């Protein structure tokens, strides 16, 4: 995992929490739901992206090019580098990308 920020400054409804090791967790909160699924975005180095995808395939985790889960087994290039979405075993929305989100 790269220690760069995935989201940058606060971008409602996301709230970034900076950790002491240079990693930032960005939280997205929906207060009206009884159990909240969380979204975690990880900025990974280009040279490790294919390794992560291969690990997902090896353990049978379906990844998607889009957050809506309509493009299984594909990656995206939304921010100028590859990215993908997948669910962790608890149903949290995980994202890997090699470029940070672009802000206007």
Mean per-residue pLDDT over the chain, rounded? 82
Q: Is 79 among the domain residues?
A: yes
What's the confidence (pLDDT) of residue 54? 97
Q: DSSP class of residue 97? A: E
What DSSP state is assigned to residue 52?
Answer: H
Is residue 56 assigned to a domain?
yes
- Distance between CA 61 and CA 63 in Å, rounded? 6
58 part of a folded domain? yes
Q: Is residue 60 part of a domain?
A: yes
Show the domain range for 74.
Answer: 14-97
Which residue, among 19, 4, 33, has the nearest Cα to 97 in the 3D structure? 4
| Between residues 79 and 64, the one the model is more confident about | 64
Q: Which pLDDT band holds residue 103 (cuts at 50, 70, 90)?
A: low
pLDDT at residue 44, rounded to an integer: 92
**Tens digits of per-residue pLDDT, 70-102?**
999 999 998 899 999 999 887 889 999 999 887
């Amino acid at each position: 995992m790269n220690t760069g920020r995935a989201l940058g400054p606060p971008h409602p409804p996301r709230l970034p929490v900076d950790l002491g090791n240079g990693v930032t967790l960005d939280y997205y909160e929906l207060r009206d739901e009884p159990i909240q699924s969380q979204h975690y975005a990880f900025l990974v180095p280009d040279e490790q992206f294919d390794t992560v995808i291969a690990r997902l395939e090896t353990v049978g985790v379906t990844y998607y090019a889009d957050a809506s889960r309509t493009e299984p087994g594909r990656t995206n290039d939304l921010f100028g580098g590859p990215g993908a979405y997948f669910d962790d075993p608890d149903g949290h929305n995980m994202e890997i990308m090699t470029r940070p989100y672009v802000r206007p």
